[in-house]
Amino acid sequence: MRDLQTELCGGPVSRHDDAISIGPKAFPGTRMRFARNEEVFGESEPVNHVYRVVSGAVRTIRFTSDGRRQIVAFHLPGDLFGFELGAAHGFSAEAIADCELVLVRRSLIEKAATESLDVARALLQLASDELHDAREHALVLGRKGAGERVAAFLLSLAERNRTDKELDLPMSRADIADYLALTIETVSRAFTQMERDHAIALPTSRHVVVRSRSALEQLQAA
């Protein structure tokens, strides 16, 4: 569990144990554990750290004015999160499962960004990637039906996991529903339907076997 990839810097943002690499620089951090459902930081709290997921999974969430929950993003091992320019967080973060995170003081990164153009560039790339994801998400929420959203979600998870065939979902149906802006029941029905169509198999509700990637891709496109 401890020997997570000591791979070399693959892109502008990569990983080292107990540190976060941004562009050419590796920032020393502290490793912390969070229990399932524990809050990592809260909305409108000051932004003091940037985080990297070592193990487990994290969700970032917002609430509408009338109290409905919207999951902004899921963060899996290797992902950075919590980086914001403003003084206060625009959303909160919670551990989906027990997890290990690396925390780096924001001031370290801010300072480096005012000294190194490569760091500044890497941060811009990071924000730009998040922007792309957010727009993709808006497109999915606006233009796709329930089945298409779930299919797209599974495909994107498969892509991130690098295991095209078998997926362990760290999150509950409720989390998926709040990410895709659906209800638990509708998400559940979408899974059942995909199973009936032989696109996936569900040995357990949290374990997905992709039987036919093309069927999923077709569903997603619908």
Contact residues for 167 (Cβ-Cβ < 8 A; gap 6+): 154, 157, 158, 161, 207, 208, 209, 210
Which of the stretches 2-10, 14-22, 128-136, 145-153 binds DNA when contact is defined by CB under 7 A? 145-153
Q: Which of residues 20, 50, 93, 182 is near DNA by CB under 7 A?
A: 182
Q: Which of residues 141, 146, 184, 215 is near a second copy by CB under 8 A?
A: 141
Residue 7 CB-half CA count within 13 A? 9
Residue 172 CB-half CA count within 13 A? 11
Q: Which of residues 164, 206, 209, 221 is near DNA by CB under 7 A?
A: 206
The least CB distance from residue 64 to a second copy, in Å, is 5
* Contact flag: residue 181 with DNA (CB under 7 A): yes
Asked if 190 and 146 touch (Cβ cutoff 8 Å), the reply is yes
Which of the stretches 2-10, 119-127, 185-193, 198-206 binds a second copy when contact is defined by CB under 8 A? 119-127
Asked if 61 and 94 touch (Cβ cutoff 8 Å), the reply is yes
* Contact flag: residue 204 with DNA (CB under 7 A): yes
* Contact flag: residue 142 with a second copy (CB under 8 A): yes
Residue 207: CB atoms within 10 A of its CB come to 12
List the structure tokens of 136.
Answer: 């993709």
String of contacts with a second copy for each residue 40-59, x by CB under 8 A:
--------------------
Chain-centre distance for alpha carbon 200: 22
Q: Which of residues 5, 44, 107, 205 is near DNA by CB under 7 A?
A: 205
Binding residues for DNA, rule: CB under 7 A, are 145-147, 172-174, 181-189, 191-192, 202, 204-206
